Amino acid sequence: MASKHMLVAVAVAALAVAFLPGLAVASEHVVGDDKGWTLQFNYTAWSESRKFVVGDTLLFKYGSSSHNVVEVGGVDFAACTKPAGANTWSTGEDRVTLHKAGRRWFICDIGEHCEKGGMKFKVTVDEAGALPPNGPPAPSNPAGKVHAKHFGVAAVTALAAAALVL
Ligand SMILES: *[C@@H]1O[C@H](CO)[C@@H](O)[C@H](O)[C@H]1NC(C)=O
């Protein structure tokens, strides 16, 4: 019976999804959480407390008349300088997609907000689903993965039940 074959195929597909290693769920990170992109916030500590993977998005939120976001290199980050032609965002609600693994650096180049106000943000982007270097899989994995797995199991259970009924 064709419909039964299809059910089996769907169940197999659901199983495959459930057990795909490191099924990544892209996250949006509001830089600075509820403080946003602002003066006197320790963005180093903030970014070290999180994990960023390829496909995630950064959201910089701030008053557009007070600040901006400029992407720089490591040297300009250290010096709080803006090179000619640097990517600049200034809407006050700027989304930046982390499309590849590696480091990226952002500063606010208004006044001395970078030098004195601490508006400098460095992010290290990991490959999606990558294991931490020299370590076992992190136990503190994003909840999204667990969710996806539970969803897969639930889907398989539901399909198995459907197959019995049909
Ligand atoms: C910000 O936090 C980092 C990491 O916890 C710390 O090393 C650094 O001294 C802090 N910077 C400031 C300006 O407080």
Ligand 1 touching residue 91 (CB < 6 A): no
Q: Is the CB of 165 under 6 A from ligand 1?
A: no
Residues 44 and 61 in one domain: yes
Please indicate whether residue 97, judged by its CB atom, sits closer than 6 Å to ligand 1.
Answer: no
Shared domain check, 68 and 10: no
pTM, two decimal places: 0.68
In a domain, 136, yes or no: no
User: Are 5 and 46 members of one domain?
Assistant: no
pLDDT per position as a tens digit, 4-41:
666 555 555 555 555 555 555 789 999 999 999 999 99
Verify whether ligand 1 is closer than 6 Å to residue 40 (CB atom): no
Question: Atom 7 (ligand 1): residue with closest C-alpha?
Answer: 45
Query: Do 18 and 51 reside in the same domain of the chain?
Result: no
Question: pLDDT for 107-162, tens place per residue?
Answer: 999 999 999 999 999 999 999 865 555 544 555 544 444 444 455 555 555 545 55
Instruction: State the total domains in the chain.
Output: 2
Rounded Cα distance, 141 and 32, in Å: 21
Domain that residue 150 falls in? 1-22+142-166
Best CA proximity match to 106, nearest among 37, 9, 7, 29:
37
- Please state, in angstroms and rounded to a whole number, the distance separating the CA atoms of residues 111 and 117: 9
Say if 67 falls within a structural domain. yes
Q: Which atom of ligand 1 is nearest to the CA of 42?
A: 1
- Are 84 and 102 within one domain? yes
Give residue 129 CA to ligand 1 midpoint distance, Å: 28
For residue 134, being part of any structural domain is answered with: no
Note whether 48 and 93 are same-domain residues. Answer: yes
The answer on 56 and 70 residing in a single domain is yes
